[in-house]
Structure 1
């Protein structure tokens, strides 16, 4: 049954990916035939993604190969992962356009690559989402769950409830019941949902149509052997919830060291190679960004000078990576001497925490400053901090050095990455989040979950957050 389901899954995904390619190819031909997509250069046609000499079929073959290499056909949640899907599309387009790098300028090839990835990636993601919804709809239509799950453990434990909550979100799964590791005491009342103990496992698997057994708790070696023998004989899949899932961000990975098998426990925080990748992206994006917005920076500087006396820029000592201090640049949005008035306005702080000093309608803010703060334009000079290596585009928000004296042990975790112009805190609510513990949690979550995809996701969410102007003052 599991082999059949795997075959059906792969078949549906292959059909969906092929259909997505055909849709993208047909749409491109339609745009070209109607002359709706005009090239910037008639000689190179560098706005149009290259289809190749065989009408684009090599792109279709490369797409399937790229998705296969990226693991986008694997079981579990792997085939639903947008990261794996987009990685496969990027690899496929790169394979097709690799030869063009030696024959044409890099600019048209880059435009080909980006437009092809965007168009083809969108089609494939939509098609795969449709497959997922279609399978779930069929399960509801015929009242037949895709998978019936039997859980082993104590149903009253918080960790077991957490597992049930996650599995119950998917309508394609049906929880058949529980098996406990201990037999109930004589005369005790049978608990709801409990089908028996591990001693009854053979008969339960024989009498119930179970597809998967999920081990939630910890059992002894003898019981584990009994469990393995039963599920193998019944042709049932066995999944064990990682015990390290209880430890927050810890990620286990099997390794062999000196011919001994170990489980390495790591935290997926920013490491050396990841920081190099992040730094390269920061330098490229900040440099290009400053070139593009230089006219806007000039206009803002003129407006600040005309609005009130004082310098255009405002520099403040902040705490960065590892507790090191740096001078963070911003456009000046307050009148000169505003810092000296902070103690007098402490009673207006809406957060109630000196480490999150937020005052709606702050009387110290200038007229131009109100506009700059509403649209977060006062943060733009921090691109210079990014070039200098003091900050990153995405990261925890930098705080004042004097706040370190009030930190508890778990607060220092947010100093494990370069501070950012934007971050998980900003896109989750900006100034509307007034609980310092929640800010620390979001900052640490970003560090622990870091990936290039997460940075891209936060950057894409930053513009809508700014446009909504929620919590900005």
Structure 2
């Protein structure tokens, strides 16, 4: 990686150095990758739409008409067109975005319904059952296909940096480091070079800075520090003329960690943040989803649960289940259900092992080679099978399928002993139901840093949606099957 502060800047004007009708080298270099991804997504969506409507036809009942099968071409045109208009073939990351995808596909179905009504309904109209099944399958198939495509994208970026977007970071060292840490988690961008504003003077060296940025094959410049620019229009114009986008990352501003949208007041752009979503009717929608899903899972998994119970009873002394006091909603204590994975006197032995705790800060207790774990218990933990009885807690309303990790009483009491170490905003985690799985389990499961654990808890609370819950559940399956970060 090249640090631009170590390069001798060249002099000369960068004003109008390129025809606005030209496409710069970096854009030519990136265009094939962007086009290829859009083509792959287009083919993927087309296949999923064909599959969903074909299955819907087989399941549903076609109403009277001269044709028994509706033409797929206009349906594909309307749906693909709606997805394109909603930005699903753009350059943004996370192209499955379940909530937005659901809205776009619902809009497409409405348009199809209107078109069918006005275009000879007796010729290509289908029954309401077929229409509803196709609508649900469209969302399921396309959402799942795009979710798997995103996972493949992330893996490709990890192993092949060419698939990452090359960018330049511009700001002061501390701010650049904050943004670099953020980008390391996303895997979407690759830092090609940096401009250290403690060395470069953006007021007097603006043109050399622009010249250096234009010489790199980058797609964007991230402004990491709130540094005023006298000639900001010229700076912005020259970057755009070179096909380089400009992005502001407000590291110094204490902005809410919420989804935001840009709104204009006269000619001034402002940022509006949405309110927290996990209140009122949203809570009860989440609770309804938890109740239905946990009931179905308990029924489907009952043979597996019975087999695990028998193995535990046959291989070690003690009860089948382990019940431990945990701190849940509003600080209320409840007993969490788990399959027993340790020896019978594990709680007493923990006091002797406190010195070996691997979690930084000591708020949580975790040891990789914990001697208290049985052989069967180690297998159950590896695949998170010991957590399955917590579906009972979900059914009882003490837990949710997805949420922050429920702390043991010992961990909770340690966390509040020093209010300076345990930031006040972390108490928000007790304003929601704790979960069987959560963002920490799928993002930082191998981490032994309590700061990172609480970080992912807060991200989940501030960005909650049913779509996010579904995404976390799907990613949990992947993490468990790949045994990522299991203890």
Normalization by structure 2: what TM-score? Answer: 0.63
C-alpha distance in 1 between matches for 2:168 and 2:434? 46
| 2:359 is aligned with 1:362 | no
C-alpha distance in 2 between matches for 1:368 and 1:325? 29
2:453 maps to 439
119-128 or 365-374: bigger deviation: 119-128
Among candidates 237, 250, 256, match of residue 243 of structure 1: 250
Q: CA deviation at 1:239?
A: 4.5
Among candidates 439, 459, 477, match of residue 424 of structure 1: 439
Contact 2:48 2:138 in 1 (8 A): no
C-alpha distance in 2 between matches for 1:174 and 1:460? 35
Contact 1:318 1:400 in 2 (8 A): yes
Contact 2:172 2:224 in 1 (8 A): no
Contact 1:89 1:121 in 2 (8 A): no
C-alpha distance in 2 between matches for 1:384 and 1:314? 13
What is the DSSP-based 3-state SS (H/G/I as helix, E as strand, rest coil) of the residue aligned with 1:82?
Answer: coil
| 2:303 is aligned with 1:298 | no
C-alpha distance in 2 between matches for 1:59 and 1:446? 36
1:136 maps to none
Structure 1 residues without counterparts, runs of 5 or longer: 46-50, 132-139, 141-145, 185-193
Among candidates 195, 206, 209, match of residue 207 of structure 2: 195
Who wins on radius of gyration, i.e. which is larger? Answer: 1
2:14 maps to none
Q: CA deviation at 1:289?
A: 0.8
1:143 maps to none
Contact 1:416 1:447 in 2 (8 A): no
| 2:296 is aligned with 1:281 | no
Distance change (3 Å), C-alpha of 1:344 and 1:94: same
C-alpha distance in 2 between matches for 1:439 and 1:302? 34
Q: CA deviation at 1:360?
A: 2.4
Q: CA deviation at 1:280?
A: 2.8
1:381 maps to 389
2:331 maps to 323
The structure showing larger relative contact order (alpha-carbon pairs under 8 Å, at least 6 residues apart) is 2
| 2:200 is aligned with 1:183 | no
For residues 195-234 of structure 1, what are the structure 2 equivalents within 5 Å? 195=207, 217-218=225-226, 227-228=232-233
CA deviations on 1:343-376 (whole Å, 9 max, x unpaired) are: 244455455837314362534x455444433332
C-alpha distance in 2 between matches for 1:333 and 1:234? 58
Q: CA deviation at 1:229?
A: 7.6
C-alpha distance in 2 between matches for 1:463 and 1:336? 30
1:409 maps to 422
CA deviations on 1:3-31 (whole Å, 9 max, x unpaired) are: 9999x9999999777655655578899xx
Distance change (3 Å), C-alpha of 1:392 and 1:2: farther
What is the DSSP-based 3-state SS (H/G/I as helix, E as strand, rest coil) of the residue aligned with 1:326?
Answer: strand
What is the DSSP-based 3-state SS (H/G/I as helix, E as strand, rest coil) of the residue aligned with 1:342?
Answer: helix
Q: CA deviation at 1:60?
A: 0.9
Distance change (3 Å), C-alpha of 1:385 and 1:241: same
Q: Provide the aligned C-alpha RMSD in A.
A: 5.6
1:188 maps to none
Q: CA deviation at 1:382?
A: 0.8
What is the DSSP-based 3-state SS (H/G/I as helix, E as strand, rest coil) of the residue aligned with 2:371?
Answer: coil
C-alpha distance in 1 between matches for 2:466 and 2:352? 43
445-454 or 237-246: bigger deviation: 237-246
Q: CA deviation at 1:319?
A: 0.9
C-alpha distance in 1 between matches for 2:194 and 2:352? 60
Distance change (3 Å), C-alpha of 1:102 and 1:335: farther
Q: CA deviation at 1:56?
A: 0.7
Among candidates 460, 463, 476, match of residue 462 of structure 1: 476
Among candidates 84, 87, 92, match of residue 77 of structure 1: 92
C-alpha distance in 1 between matches for 2:238 and 2:354? 70
C-alpha distance in 2 between matches for 1:211 and 1:345? 51
Normalization by structure 1: what TM-score? Answer: 0.64
